[in-house]
Structure 1
Amino acid sequence: MESSTFKDLYLSRNLEKAIKELGFEEPTPIQSKAIPFILEGRDVIGQAQTGTGKTAAFGIPALEMVNSRSKKTQVLVLCPTRELANQVADEIGKLGKYTGTKILAVYGGQNIDRQIKVLKRGVQIVIGTPGRVLDHIERKTLNLNSVQMFVLDEADEMLDMGFREDIESIFASIPEGRQTILFSATMPKPIMKLTKKYQQNPELVKTIHKVVTVPNMEQAYFEVKHHMKPDILCRMIDIHDVKSCLVFCNTKKMVDELVLKLKNRGYLTDGLHGDMKQNQREKVMGSFRNGEIEILVATDVAARGIDVENIEVVFNFDMPQDEESYVHRIGRTGRAGRQGIAFTFVTAREIYKIKNIQKYTRTKIKCRKVPTRSDAEDFKANMLAKRVKETVDEGHLGKYIHWVEKMLDEDCTSMDVAAGLVKIMLSENK
């Protein structure tokens, strides 16, 4: 029943296009187990932790079944908190980019009149907290008569927060023939009671929760604008004098674009992604192992099997799709007893993902100030000074002293000559 690739799911072209753009190369275990059953119309109980890709596990089938030509609400997703409701709406919105599906998050603390206006225009997928959803039902601003799929996300959290009565009232407002999907990290007795009462022969799909061990390493994130990422990556490689690093991108297209930009700036780099033939991959990996390539840019799937001892830094150029991917990525550095370094670039809209990763890994990821161009120049100047001193200590400068003397005869001071040479060296290395 499980699917090893998204192609195996025979999804609509518009959905496949968005999945490819987002860089989902293959389904996570919970997705490959749950999606086929949900697409069949079966009721499903999904036991999975946060960070395993469960939003797409119900979001993809929801988008497949929705009739975007109808203005009626056909899918309702309940979440315990406004933060989760927003995250789910954001992710399903990205997946449904080309489907024309209208999606709305409704929760307390936000102006209800604004929500009512949008609901009146027609929304096919509503994602909300139990209290606010119930409020809309009572005001008759949310009609659930056409709901075909009802999803309870993080059901155990909702019951712990005292939402049981609200959930029961919402169930009473939804047609009996609907499909019910329930996701929960744990399966306590109250959850089992809910499933017995409201689901028909549900299929239980679960993923084994691995104990997450984050290796000893320095972790930090940088809040950046998307278009600034290549510049900031170059600055950081220069400042840290990186000789071997792995840079993760979410899509093959981004790998190719970044490799080209880095090569044009004079960096020793190459890329790895799923479209490459095995002999190409082996050639790139060989060059990385022997130091001919200092920067390897890769997608998650392509990076599997990379076992190189001396990777100094892992850069998450793109935020990983889920928390498990983050752990796999950063585990590539800090081998052989050395402390590794993992730096992540985050856009303003992705800050919540960093919070989820910290919760999942139980580690603190510090927010760092983005280094300026001036910082990078200072570092290069210091490195140049060090090299000059080493060269002076080595001696054998006879003919070079002769050339400098000729410049001094032309009314240049020794300080002018040194400063001019530093300027030339630094501008050549930009």
Structure 2
Amino acid sequence: MKRKSDEDSRQDMNSENTNLFQGDKQEAALPGQQSGEVEVGRPHLSTQKPESHGVNAEGTASEEDLNAGAPDELVEPEQPLPRVSLADLPDWLRARAQEIGWNELRDVQAMTIPYVRARRDLMVQAKTGSGKTGAYLLPILEALDPALAACQALVLVPTRELALQVHTEATRLAGGAGIRAVAVYGGVGYGAQLDALRRGAHIVVGTPGRLLDHLKRGSLQLDDVRYLILDEADRMLSMGFYPDMRELRKSLPSERASYMFSATFPANVLRLAREFLRDPGFLSLSRDAVYVASTEHVYYEVPALDKDRILIRLIEIENPSAAIIFCNTKQRVNYVATVLQRFGYDADQLTADLSQSEREGVLRRLREGRLRFLVATDLAGRGIDISHLSHVFQYEVPEDPEAYIHRAGRTGRSGGAGTVISLVSYAELADFNRIMRQYGIPAEKRPLPSEEDVMAIVEQRVTALLEAKLRDRDPLQLERMRRFVGLARRLAEAEEELDVIAMLIDDYYQETLHKVPVPEGGAAPKASAPRQKQGPSAPKSVRRRRRSRGEGRSH
């Protein structure tokens, strides 16, 4: 493998793509907002340069940080509120928390609760298991009016599993306080959900599609909503829920407090925040780099012969808006493009054999959103500048370490965000690790998703899309459709006819592979200085180191 000096490599890295790393060199800004819109141009604002996330000023990681991991860094609103403890909760709520085993607040809870109490909109970077559910449930429970049998808090979640989990926690914490919660989600009948809503639910937790169904049926009213929670916002977008979320927003009262929880804050999540939140602060207690409009580096150890299947699984899970898949040879490019096309994806290939006019035609389709996946060699992929590319997949580890930088530089353009996913065979692992060390890239190793993992996501995504399609039918279309209810029932009851139903669902799913609804806004926003605002400035964020605290229970 060809190697370059460390100094040459760093110069190439800085000139090619200065936002490759999850550090502090670049902050994404959205275009100027109108009055009343959220100011998310610098939600993670820092008037002082933060300390490194295991990456030094030259863009390389120290040996100590590579081995031990960087210390925790706290990012909080510029006008921070003091943290609280379990003793600061009302007596009844503190007693309930202790009864179910919460002996102390987790860090994210202690720091988020004051902002919910103050009704200050907030974006919180929090991963699963960090205690984020309690961070919003505890202050909401103490603020709700049990005498008002109406939805006062609405929690949007991406999956039925998370809806049930949040509902369970809310019910356990509410105890005998007279506060009722209900979970609503697709893929099941409406009966039990309708009964629960009729009894009066103070907290409604659900997936956007089913919530919209109940809203249109008249079984759910949102006039009294005081708190809106967007939990796992990044996953809701990847599941394709954005159109339903946008429709729900039309029925929400303007006088509400809104909170967004997400593991990452790429450009599309920031655009979502712009629609739902007003002048939010930003809070993060992540041990990892603060993933705000930066490039995330991920890799999977994959058996060489399984790379094609794993690539399809990852694409289905990630649901990228557009992506480039890099291979080392023209033959591999042709093979991967064919696999994607056979699966049903919009895919084409770009190699050095194409004429200039053919190359321009392929890139034009990609730029205009008429092509979703481009499979390319390193030589053919040089110089591609498509601002809306959300992902780069590396089907093979590059033979030249510098090529990794050029590949990764195709995403996260114009101050936006991106994800670089590498499929690394066991034979390639040593070379891949060498590249990561050479450039100081903090790549995250993830476990391979199983077919069951993929199908769980696909089933919920398809269910949401089908229910949305049904919702949009007019009375005449519904009457025409219902002629086939009897046939549908007979097919479902006959074991040998299940393949017919599966075929129809698969045909519909293939149609959706070409459509990835995301928050509007076109290309990723360009970085800019913060705008001057009239009146009080929006809450900004500052960074500071904090000592690691005991994590206690996962709640």
TM superposition score category, shorter chain reference: 0.3 to 0.5
Q: Which has the larger radius of gyration?
A: 1
Q: Which has the higher helix share?
A: 1
TM-score of the aligned structures, taking structure 1 as reference length: 0.48
- TM, length-normalised to structure 2: 0.37
Structure with more relative contact order (C-alpha pairs < 8 Å, separation 6 or more): 2
